Chain A
Amino acid sequence: MATEPPRAPVPTAVTAPPPAAGAERRRLEVASLSAYYGSAEIVRGVSITFRDREVTAIIGPSGCGKSTLLRCLNRMHETVPTAHVAGSVSLDGRDIYAKGVNAIEVRRHIGMVFQRPTPFPTMSIRDNVAAGLQILGRDKPSRAETDHIVEDALRRTALWDEVSNRLKDSAIGLSGGQQQRLCIARALATRPAVLLLDEPTASLDPISTQKVEELVYELRRDMTVVIVTHNMQQAARVSDRTAFMLMGELVEIAATNTLFTTPSDSRTEAYITGRFG
């Protein structure tokens, strides 16, 4: 557990990350988190840890609260009227729901990609990738830097070869799969510490799905990835650890291999063997 560091007046201690606990570093820690729409409790007291440089998949039947849990991790949940949250989510030991924490800043460090591709239709391909950089205000990179970051993000999402000769064209001209990879590139351009993916391949064809999955597999080298999926094969292919949710509760979380071969909870076993859901 990350404990409150002593409040010594050491300037460097403010920016230094907390010490890694053991081999795996705990990047995002969720403690007894409940999420509500009005009075309906969608997520019920979930505690879960997402480790650095790992892909964690969250699986479960429709309506089990997995997407809502994901949306609590970068404070997107609260943008819906009547939605609210209880409990805590800590990014490197700092509770993102604490008083004085700016949700805008949180989202700049925890990127998100949605179920359907959401390119900005009036922007070019380049401007779409740079969109997150353009709203950084004073920290906005220069034009040349931006071009560099855009190219880097497009290369990482394997889009560069497909779009490098039409960066000025509208993003609407891309295929669905390309649009989704563009959205991932857009999220990567701001160099987030954590990337949240909400069923990113739900609206894509098998080949595009494969490309996105390969990309997710690669991303673990530099960041924490949390992917919500209703596709168990996908969870098995891309993740290091898998969490199973049911009716708003976290049933179990384990190494992906373990969860799919020898689950410890009978409900998990029932779900992965296809007896419900």
Chain B
Amino acid sequence: MKYVIIGNGAAATGAVEGIRSVDKTGSITVVSREDHHVYCRPLISYLLEGKTDEKKMLYRPGNFYEENGVDVLYGVSAEKIDPAAKKVTLSDGRALDYDALCVATGSAPFVPEVKGLRNVGRVHTFMTLDDAKALEKDLTPQSRVLIVGAGLIGLKCAEGILERCKSVTVCDLAPRVLSSILDDDCAAIMQHKLEDMGVEFMLDDTVAEFEENSAHMRSGKTVGFDVLVMAVGVRANVSLIKDIGGEVNRGIIVSDKMETSLKDIYAAGDCTESTDITSGVKKVMAIMPLAYMQGRCAGVNMAGGEELLSNALPMNSIGFGGLHCMTAGSYTGECYEEKTSTSIKRLYTEDNLLKGFILIGCNDRAGIYTSLIRNRTPLDTVDFDLLKRSPALAPFGKSYREEKLGGAV
């Protein structure tokens, strides 16, 4: 068997490991646009913060490809797939034959067209290791940095560079930070933490026009800056599949086996859409654990094994200055809330199921809640009154405990 994987991130790594769990000998070729061994993209902010280094941030050990018999083509991208000839054409003119193909192309920063943006000298995105290094090069202790976008990427960037520049201002069209995962109250807690750390915010506001070193905001304010980071959002890289008529929405449409609508072509990771089990809605859930699991599922199926992935849910664990915020699922139904001056717990239940939660400053054993969501555990089969106050195994009862603690799981 000849396997080709387009991409070299978490999903691609999962695909390699999935293939090798079934087929030890088939040839695997990874097409890596980035000229780097697989690394952990979410760690680029920690790199700038000095909490990791390039060696430590590798996703897999240095001998990973060798150990798994993988041929990596660095610094090239896939240009076109010919599904009839089962061939991938690369940017350097080469072509690769495949028996099974996995598209794990991830996503790319979306940079909106803002008037005057092309006049800005130092403008960055913050997604890849090379992005982080380029940003680092432009930073001085005197730099005033403007970050457009108060989402996960923009805020982690802010934290990562805060001690390395004079000021960091974050603006966002939304009236709150982390608007995709938090409501107003919870967002305010995270915002205060970041403000205490020294980040300045201009929310509910957006850039109307850039000059070389300043941004004129829609509100009429003007912000001076030396370095600009555009972190508005990301878009799934779907064009390889879209170009050849494969089914695509915002992300590539895949089955529970990670098959695209095209024969012998699979897709995994941030370039795909999957069904959020807490809402039933198909959407792009660009989170690294899911990317890995999808890749692994794709790999197993590519190699003739059988694996299904049908329990995806959005979830995030993100911290700033030691304050952690965990979120999962959908915030619908009845809300149970516990609040102190430093923490908030919100659990959302509907139809006898835990649908989602927000936990800030109270993360201990949070995975017990996540597993209730993922397993769609009927809440009348556990002591949820006990569980909602404190996540533990006791509320699951004796037989669950015997099963989980009594033997290998």
A in complex with B: no
Q: Which residues of A contact B (CB under 8 A)?
A: none
